[in-house]
Amino acid sequence: MPKFKAYLPYLAIAIGLLGIGLVCGILASIIVVQLNRPPSPTLTPTSTLTPTPTLTPTPIPTLASPTLPPEFYCVPRTHFQEASAIVVLDGDTIDVNIQGKTYRVRYIGIDAPERDEQFFQEATQANASLVLDKKLFLFKDVSETDSYGRLLRYVFADGVFVNYALVRNGYARAYTYPPDVSCADLFLGAERRAREENLGLWGQPTPTPSTRCDPSYPDVCIPPPPPDLDCKDIPYRRFRVLPPDPHHFDADGDGIGCER
C-alpha cells in the first residue's frame, strides 16, 4: 500500500495528460471539419422591382350605324359617314361638311332636272327642304367617287332616305348606273308609282313636239342634222338618247347624251 501511494502523483499526471490529449483531439477534429466545409455563398441583396403601371388605352369613339327601315335594306351599311349639308346645288347634288372638310356629293341612283330643264327649281327646293339643317348619314355603294370627283352616296337626313324621297315624289328620275345599283329596283318602283300618280315632274304638261325636234332626243328639243351638232353646240346635258342618235351625243352608248 505504501508503494501504491508513492505512484499516485505519477498516475494523476498521466490522467491529466490523457485528458489534455483528448481535448486537443476533439478541437483538431472540429478545426478539420470547419476547414473542409464549403464556403457559404455571398448573398447579394435583391433589388426591389417597381411594378410597371398598366396603361389603359383611351377608347376611340365609334359612330353607331343608324337604324334603317326594312324597306331600305338595299343600302349597304359597311361604310358610312356623318355629315351636314352646306349648299344645295340642284335636286341630286349637295356640298357637305365631313369632319371640317367640304366635299361634293352626288346622289346614287337618281337624276334630277338640270338648271336649263323644266322643274329644276322645284327639285332643288325639295332637296334643300330634305337636307338643310339636318344630320346626314352618307352611305357608299361600290364606287367612292364619280368621274368628276364627287362622292357617290345614298343620303339619309333625320331618318328620311333622300334619294328615294326625291324619286317617289316626282322630283327626280330613277337613274341606273353600274356598278352602284344596290337600290336600283327600289328607285324604279318609286318612279313608276310617281308616274302613275302624276307627281312632280310627271304631272307637268307634255310639250308639243316640234317638227324641228329630233325624236332621238325625246326629253329635249334638238333639231336633226344638218348641221351636225356637238355637245358644245347645245345647252343640254345628261339627256336621254334613243337610236339612231344622228348627232352622236351618246359616245359611250349608255343612253345618256353629253354627260360631261
Task: Mark whether 153 is an active-site residue.
Answer: no
* Dist CA 250 CA 176 (whole Å): 16
Q: Which of 106, 153, 168, 173 is catalytic?
A: 106
Q: Which of 114, 117, 153, 168 is catalytic?
A: 114
Angle of CA points 39, 45, 46, to nearest 5° = 125
Task: Mark whether 114 is an active-site residue.
Answer: yes
Is the Cβ–Cβ distance between 166 and 109 less than 8 Å?
A: no
Cell of 97: 361638311
Beta pairing, strands 101-107 & 93-98: antiparallel
Q: How many CB atoms lie within 10 A of CB 161?
A: 24
* Dist CA 130 CA 125 (whole Å): 9
Residues 6+ apart with CB under 8 A from 144: 151, 152
* Dist CA 55 CA 172 (whole Å): 54
The count of C-alpha atoms lying within 13 angstroms of the C-alpha of 169, restricted to the half-sphere facing its C-beta, is 17
Angle of CA points 224, 225, 230, to nearest 5° = 95
Q: Which of 150, 195, 237, 240 is catalytic?
A: 150
Helix (H) or strand (E) holding 36: helix 2-36
Task: Mark whether 150 is an active-site residue.
Answer: yes
Residues 6+ apart with CB under 8 A from 256: 238, 239, 240, 241, 250
Is the Cβ–Cβ distance between 184 and 109 less than 8 Å?
A: yes
Hey, which residues are catalytic here?
106, 114, 150
